[in-house]
Amino acid sequence: MEKITNHPFFIEALNVQLGFQPRSPLSDKPISFQLKRGLITGLIGPNGAGKSTLINALVTGQSIIRGKLLCYGIEKNRVSKKDSSNLISILPQEPTFPRELRVKHFLELAFLPSTGLLKPLPSVESEQFELELNTLSLKPLLNKYLKQLSSGERQRVFLARALLQKPRGLLLDEPTNHLDPKATSDFWQIIQICKNQFAIDILVSSHDISLLKKECDWILAIKDGALFFDGTTDDFFRSDITEKLYA
């Protein structure tokens, strides 16, 4: 834990080649980058660029053919499932959920990686989780069924489930893809609050260029499985890189 606390980088890729077959990497050019802590980084690129493969590698430690992919200085493919949930958590693009389950019971499933199947799950209504519930305004929703929630409310619940694992870093995969403009604005206000409230590092994958420009401190762009840009949001949008990325 001391190593994680003192490590300067959220994510590091050291000569990484990603892919699903050892002899078929997404690119012949290895990827190398370092994402500093305390930032919201936007992950951007055309469809099929390798964004989902990179996110999968960060979550599961799989899809890494060569090189090292590290979170807080720890190689991702050497982290146990239990420790991984405290290291980095994900809000997936298409979260699956049982519609007939109450919100509080769905949230308590977040504790399974740490407790295992044989131990009772902590109650989400206990004092130790009050900060998360208050920050995301979820207390009034705890006894509702998931099917009763709006898309924006459900997305807050999914975010809470990721945060209840108390991770150091958070991955957001197209988090506002199905939200209307008002829900999208509300969601990002909460993300900015969570970043400061929980001192959490965030990597967000999105096709929404205007959203990334507004919300992100750093941009990581991938094209054809290779690194295309790695730098500040201002530098990315100050040039014609966007046009070249999608050409």
Domain regions of the chain by residue span:
2-93+168-245
Global pTM? Answer: 0.89
The predicted structure's pLDDT at residue 2: 42
> What angle (nearest 5°) sits at the alpha carbon of residue 230, between those of residues 5 and 173?
70
Average pLDDT over residues 180-198: 91
The alpha carbon of residue 132 and the mean position of all alpha carbons in its chain are separated, in whole angstroms, by: 17
The predicted structure's pLDDT at residue 116: 63
CATH of 2-93+168-245, one of 3.20.20.70, 3.40.50.300, 3.90.580.10, 3.30.2290.10: 3.40.50.300
The predicted structure's pLDDT at residue 215: 94
Residue 236: φ, ψ to 5°: -65, -45
Rounded to 10 degrees, the C-alpha dihedral 9/231/233/91 comes to -40
CB 132 within 8 A of CB 64: no
Residue 196 has pLDDT above 60, yes or no: yes
Note the pLDDT tens digit of each residue in 229-247. Answer: 999 999 999 888 888 898 8
Q: At 78, which amino acid appears? A: R
CB 50 within 8 A of CB 43: no
Note the pLDDT tens digit of each residue in 12-63. Answer: 999 999 988 777 888 889 999 999 999 999 999 998 888 988 998 888 878 8
107 or 22, higher pLDDT: 107
CA 90 – CA 36 distance, rounded (Å) = 18
Residue 243: φ, ψ to 5°: -60, -40
CA 87 – CA 201 distance, rounded (Å) = 11
Average pLDDT over residues 213-240: 93
